[in-house]
Structure 1
């Protein structure tokens, strides 16, 4: 009774604390949002079109349900991109007056195999019957509101897809490549220039000799503001105090699992006597015993030795029926296993040579069925005389991709292969070679191995931190949080012998933090906290004490990030000036002597690739080569990899052709292929988008 009274007292205290906390939370939220319902209720606005939060949330929920393993933020971002695309394209459809009419919709539905091939919607002649279809839709509308809504959603998605295809077709129709453009591209690809060159790579000058100031970086960014604009971000430093099992915790789990092996004596309150409860070794109801005591339920599957824990495989597999093994560690679990018997040939291994023929399943062969059979019988005779040649004959004759492995299919179990193939492999001894016909053609099969399996009843209990260990982690994290608030974060970490993780930079919609994974709660906090603020978080890995080190507002990217983005380009521009001073001389030989760089030949270089062998792509250099007269030494050219001087030896123009339709057609096809993506990219770039996603996640 005393224990129950204490539990009740603690329960009342907890209820009171939760009630006060909930009240404080609600009031805080109201204050933050400046009252009841006055905050934004839109997930965003795209060119003046609001995306209501409730509609957006429902779509995100549906996306998460339909895509297994997708996180909330991944679903949110996917739906947001869909909404942006929908609004931008619908704006274009409206301007152009594009829409899908009822008759067009019916035609689209008729093309869907689930309707077009459904006998329910076909007439006596086997044609799609619109009246029968409309009768079906009417019955859904009248009998099932939920199915009716699903149908309307299907119609809407079908219409959206169709109108987008119509729009893309119109966009593509606007692209046309002329004969002149075809000729230009033909010459770009086929005109060749050969020239000598001297190049001094930028890497010959140490970066320390070309200082890059913050002022220079900032000036370059201001000239290219759109290119180097950065989103609002936060920089977080944190300490992770892992909540992991101690050595004592591991031993406690091992002892607990081991104790299940033997019978135990327990007091029976009903009879007032002690009862002996059977242990794992002598229980008569193994399955119930496992399901009662294990974190992983009983599995009746037979297991091959190769699939058992490596260190214990031999001992477990050789455990006699009814015998037990363990405890042993497997991953994060302590286990004990009981053998429930073995079964022969649960897996088999085989090699094959497939001879397919025209008309066989998935076949690209042109031979007839009769020719395939004759060839298979010929190969079978060779293999029966010389079984060692199987791999080579498979490589040179098989129509299956396994030919690359000499026909080896690896191990497989029953149900994985087509029936005739399976029957032969599992019905014949290892070493048997024979001929089998399946829907794929004729197979010459070599049975190479078989594996027996063991059925195990396994009790597995996860090795987790004890309450005492978790309490110690919580206490340590709390003390560190208090010390970090009183002292300097770095000093407090050093005093407590804790390691500060590398600085993490996050954007408003991020959810992952390197080292601790999905931590959306910490990201949200970072965007509401003040610089220097510290907070402790409970995570699956343990306690995280985080400090908001820096707030980066939207604008030009930070100087250090900018140096990483284009610092090399600015340094190379400075290096080019230093190199140009050295490249004196009116001949390449004189330039070579002055710089110590050899004269090299670039042979038959085309303008389209601008690729110089052993150097790489150099469009400025190749462009200059096509503009120079033969024998003339160029001025210095600051290229991608260094500074160049060149002298053209010869320019060969491609022979003229009767017409350039083939080239024009290829260029036109490439242009049309990327048209839809480029048009949407332009619409997205020029759209007025207000993104409020971060407020709801």
Structure 2
């Protein structure tokens, strides 16, 4: 309900920008830092078409005025992806002759619920009114030219979105599934095979019997270059030396905040006498006292018991006005808390079932019921709830038109006065716990049950952040600097071990990454790792919010393949299993499955009614290659050893049970068509990128 109420209060331009999800990026600090160097005038190019720097920066600069909360690197990466997509799809639009009109562009806005459901742009039937929307844009053009220019510059992006929608629709329309494909799918899912087998898992061979060299791993990746292709990357390691207070610092801070409880004697230069100032317990101007001594200013808000710090809630809530609790530690602060006031019925808890109707505020376009029908349904639900109040949550989940509370059984907790629309608010706060009734608002009819009322308290809290002293910070800085210097001469691991510091590995760090594992946003570390002057083994200290990071470059990967370290987790098992398979195949000799099993101390096992669509062998797992072989083997015949996913198999076919023919395969045809069409957007995007020649100069952003 609170969310619904606020829809009307939102700024329209913000809705346009956020609602389209096309204009959500900032890059302000890139512009402020000078943007690109003189190396290139382009951010990059796609199939020979350049992405000019100035155009790139202008677009994101416009958006930076409307959107906050995204980092410059995230913005640059997102804008880059958008520009690449625009060029790739733009080529297809041109070849397909796709054009869009103003109506197409308006339809893009109309498809966004935040715009289409705004009452400002709806007609009497609650439908999106293009004329009203055009009128708004026309007014913006005259009343706010600056904002209009931004919207006008963003129009090509909306046009591209409209073209892409038409293009994808064309591709989907051209996707078909034949009866032959449907019949094959039916067979995959319903034909069944049964067979006996002997299975020797790869684990029976020790790894040292199947050693794989680094050269073999690299050779395998080069042979399968497309699969293991990678952008340049870096592997780094770092140690974090936290800048945190010592036990002595904490004791000093506790002593200092505790001193605020007692009266203090200070010299008054005007009267030339000593004055006794009251402590926190006795002071009358509490707000001034808190603001003069706290890192967090005085707050008049009333809070419920459940919103107090869990470990201290009971003691704080039970204070009488004027009493003080503390000092205590909470969320990195030393605190003293004084009870000011209590207020009954400060917040409420209620459950509701919203029955909306066509034409109501923020309607769901799927709702067709009239206002009269909505009222009748709400009154019927009221009778059901009154007859059995315990069914309220169940009825809410299955009937409410409020998506914000459907999953909670219609419940809203901690409702404050004025948070909900007035009829809802008045019912909740003017009725006792347990009261059930129906009220009407602009959103529809609500069946409401008041389930709780909460007392709240006003508190005065002095909070002082627990921080290291200057002396402690200096010592930590000295330690970090010494480690940086020592690691220039000695192995990084040895230096870290001597200081009892944990080394954190970060593998496959990409140039356009921003976050560093365990540290959050640390673009500076990424840029340093990729600097052309930074070599393998180099060490550097970085100041971060948590303290100091001493980092070293462990591996530089510029050869176009994934790093050797990463390959050892993916490629090494493949090559090792191949070698193990050759060893195991030599053990699978004999006249029958039984003979092979006896020779290897194994057993002949059976797999019954396995389908190709679900190629799982009981107690083994997925083995598509083995199941495929079984379907192609005549009854009673024994296969050659098969290299499976988890080991080597020898199988003897028993029988194949063919699924009965269907009168038609329309259901399977429709399913294949739906699945195929659903995958079109991602598949066409991937295909276009794979075929494109893309030059990425974003590295110049930080030169």
Structure 2 length-normalised TM:
0.80
Q: Does the residue aligned with 2:474 lie in a helix, a strand or coil? A: helix
Q: Does 1:658 align with 2:698?
A: no
What is the distance in 1 between the residues matched to 2:513 and 2:308?
A: 40
What is the distance in 1 between the residues matched to 2:103 and 2:60?
A: 32
Q: Is the 8 A contact 1:306 1:313 kept in 2?
A: yes
Aligned to 2:252: 252
Q: CA deviation at 1:456?
A: 0.3
Aligned to 1:208: 208
What is the distance in 1 between the residues matched to 2:197 and 2:425?
A: 66
What is the distance in 1 between the residues matched to 2:310 and 2:215?
A: 61
Aligned to 1:161: 161
What is the distance in 1 between the residues matched to 2:180 and 2:543?
A: 67
Aligned to 2:608: 603
Aligned to 2:592: 587
Aligned to 2:522: 519
Q: CA deviation at 1:578?
A: 2.2
Q: Does the residue aligned with 2:662 lie in a helix, a strand or coil? A: coil
Give the direction of change, closer, same or farther, for the CA distance of 1:613–1:550 in structure 2 (3 Å limit): closer
Q: Is the 8 A contact 2:350 2:448 kept in 1?
A: no
Aligned to 1:504: 506
Give the direction of change, closer, same or farther, for the CA distance of 1:61–1:255 in structure 2 (3 Å limit): farther
Comparing 137-146 with 582-591, which one deviates more in the overlay? Answer: 137-146
Aligned to 1:637: 642
Aligned to 1:218: 218
Q: CA deviation at 1:144?
A: 3.5
Q: CA deviation at 1:674?
A: 0.9
Q: Is the 8 A contact 2:44 2:696 kept in 1?
A: yes
Q: Does the residue aligned with 1:556 lie in a helix, a strand or coil? A: coil
What is the distance in 2 between the residues matched to 1:482 and 1:128?
A: 68
Q: CA deviation at 1:523?
A: 2.0
Q: Does the residue aligned with 2:339 lie in a helix, a strand or coil? A: strand
What is the distance in 2 between the residues matched to 1:103 and 1:437?
A: 42
What stretches of structure 1 of length at least 5 have no aligned partner? 1-28, 384-389
What is the distance in 1 between the residues matched to 2:574 and 2:48?
A: 40
Q: Does 1:460 align with 2:440?
A: no
TM-superposition CA deviations, 1:215-255 (whole Å, max 9, x none): 32232122112222343233334333321112222233223
What is the distance in 2 between the residues matched to 1:492 and 1:587?
A: 61
What is the distance in 2 between the residues matched to 1:200 and 1:582?
A: 9
Aligned to 1:151: 151
Q: CA deviation at 1:377?
A: 4.8
Aligned to 1:622: 627
TM-superposition CA deviations, 1:316-373 (whole Å, max 9, x none): 2222212222222112111111111212344556789x79899999999999977986
Q: Is the 8 A contact 1:576 1:642 kept in 2?
A: yes
Q: Is the 8 A contact 2:514 2:526 kept in 1?
A: yes
Matched length: 649
Aligned to 1:71: 71
Q: Is the 8 A contact 2:541 2:551 kept in 1?
A: yes
Aligned to 1:13: none
Aligned to 2:308: 308
Aligned to 2:25: none
What is the distance in 2 between the residues matched to 1:685 and 1:181?
A: 27
Give the direction of change, closer, same or farther, for the CA distance of 1:668–1:69 in structure 2 (3 Å limit): same
What is the distance in 1 between the residues matched to 2:378 and 2:692?
A: 61
Give the direction of change, closer, same or farther, for the CA distance of 1:112–1:155 in structure 2 (3 Å limit): farther
Aligned to 1:472: 475
Aligned to 1:171: 171
Structure 1 length-normalised TM:
0.80
Within the candidate set 554, 558, 576, 2:559 is matched to 554
What is the distance in 2 between the residues matched to 1:407 and 1:223?
A: 57
Give the direction of change, closer, same or farther, for the CA distance of 1:59–1:279 in structure 2 (3 Å limit): farther
Q: Does the residue aligned with 1:479 lie in a helix, a strand or coil? A: helix
Q: Does the residue aligned with 1:555 lie in a helix, a strand or coil? A: coil
What is the distance in 1 between the residues matched to 2:422 and 2:133?
A: 39
What is the distance in 2 between the residues matched to 1:80 and 1:571?
A: 40
TM-superposition CA deviations, 1:79-124 (whole Å, max 9, x none): 221121112111222233322234654666677785898789989x
Q: Is the 8 A contact 2:39 2:700 kept in 1?
A: no
What stretches of structure 2 of length at least 5 have no aligned partner? 1-32
Q: Does 1:569 align with 2:590?
A: no
Q: Does the residue aligned with 1:184 lie in a helix, a strand or coil? A: helix
Give the direction of change, closer, same or farther, for the CA distance of 1:295–1:63 in structure 2 (3 Å limit): farther
Q: Is the 8 A contact 1:64 1:71 kept in 2?
A: no
What is the distance in 2 between the residues matched to 1:148 and 1:442?
A: 40
Q: RMSD value over aligned CA atoms? A: 4.2
TM-superposition CA deviations, 1:493-534 (whole Å, max 9, x none): 556x35251333333223333343322212212222233333
Q: Is the 8 A contact 2:347 2:455 kept in 1?
A: yes
What is the distance in 1 between the residues matched to 2:205 and 2:227?
A: 28
Larger Rg belongs to: 1
Aligned to 2:414: 412
Q: CA deviation at 1:374?
A: 6.9
Give the direction of change, closer, same or farther, for the CA distance of 1:203–1:66 in structure 2 (3 Å limit): farther
